[in-house]
Amino acid sequence: MKSVVSADGTRLALDQVGAGPPVVLVGGALSHRRSNGFAELAALLAERFTVVNYDRRGRGDSEDAPAYSVERELEDLAAVIGWAGGSAHVYGMSSGGVLALRAAAAGVAIDRLVAYEPPFVVSHEAHLPPPGFGEKLRRLLADGDRDRAAEYFMRHGVGAPAPAIAMLRLARPIWRQLTAVAHTLPYDHATMNGWLTGTPLAAEPWVSLPTPTLVIEGARSPASLKAASAQLAERLPHARRCTLPGQAHDPAPEALAPVITAFLAGEHA
């Protein structure tokens, strides 16, 4: 395991594999660098790239800080990219994709960016988190109840059906992995910056983003995520959008890797 120190002194754990232009992987909610197929994706991308897979602050082997702000997470990604060589391609999953997009908009040195299903809520027909969602999530965690916080996030934040959450609970090793990072759920909620209200995406900061970007969605994903991908791709001036057949919000690494590779290498995807 390697590490890099961010601007505020927080040490971030990371793994590096492969050789070639650097690619940094950014996980979404309830994930760390060794979950959600990220290690498998890193191994596949390593055939063409140097892949840096890091734990966002507070997750896995990375340190945390007493107070959180999105700006610190942007500094974290900048520090990882600096460690990788000064500039890099970036792949971001879900809210990790939003974090990567915000970093690019803030001037972080991202060469090309791939975002998989950034979870903007752009229509009132989609599931909307209830009023006070963020505050209740923080209250559950302040009480030390990561179990209920994870369930509340999935049920009321994302709109997952109760039977699906029950199945996850039965898969105890998976549920333990999720609850182990549940205390970082407010970080992802803050990253979404109010883009969960059911209103269309505003022009800024997206129309000013110079970074070539690929927005990917799964063919089996909910219509709300496809609508978000479509709106984002429309706003970005240098964007492509593609749909992965047979995939949902948890894409198979072997389906994802060829598309990411082709885009980052400048080949036709």
Q: What is the CATH number of the domain that holds 234?
A: 3.40.50.1820
Pair 17, 101 in one domain: yes
Q: Which of 144, 159, 191 is the last residue of a domain?
A: 191
Inter-residue contact 80 to 7 (CB < 8 Å): no
Residue 128 lies in a domain: no
Q: How confident is the model at residue 269 (pLDDT cuts 50, 70, 90)?
A: low
Q: What is the pLDDT of residue 156?
A: 96
Q: Which of 175, 191, 207 is the last residue of a domain?
A: 191
pLDDT at 42 over 70: yes
Q: Which of 191, 224, 239 is the last residue of a domain?
A: 191
Pair 16, 96 in one domain: yes
Pair 113, 23 in one domain: yes
pLDDT digit string, tens, across residues 249-263: 999 999 999 999 999
CA–CA gap between residue 31 and residue 48 (Å, rounded): 25
Pair 176, 72 in one domain: no
What's the average model confidence in pLDDT over 183-199? 96
- Structural domain for 44, as ranges: 2-119+199-264
Residue 101 lies in a domain: yes
Pair 149, 64 in one domain: no
Pair 220, 187 in one domain: no
Residue 126 lies in a domain: no
Residue 125 lies in a domain: no
Pair 167, 205 in one domain: no
Three-class SS string for 132-200?
A: CHHHHHHHHHHCCCHHHHHHHHHHHHHCCCHHHHHHHHHCHHHHHHHHHCHHHHHHHHHHCCCCCCCCC
pLDDT digit string, tens, across residues 213-240: 999 999 999 999 999 999 999 999 999 9
pLDDT digit string, tens, across residues 55-94: 999 999 999 999 999 999 999 999 999 999 999 999 999 9
Pair 109, 19 in one domain: yes
pLDDT at 36 over 90: no
Instruction: Please state whether the peptide bond connecting residue 205 to the residue before it is cis, i.e. omega within 30 degrees of 0.
Output: yes
Q: What is the pLDDT of residue 268?
A: 62
Pair 15, 139 in one domain: no
Q: What is the pLDDT of residue 35?
A: 87
Name residue 242's beta-bridge partners: 216
Residue 127 lies in a domain: no
CA–CA gap between residue 85 and residue 102 (Å, rounded): 20
Q: Give the number of domains in the chain.
A: 2
pLDDT at 159 over 70: yes
Pair 171, 203 in one domain: no
Pair 187, 203 in one domain: no
Pair 96, 204 in one domain: yes
Q: What is the pLDDT of residue 267?
A: 83
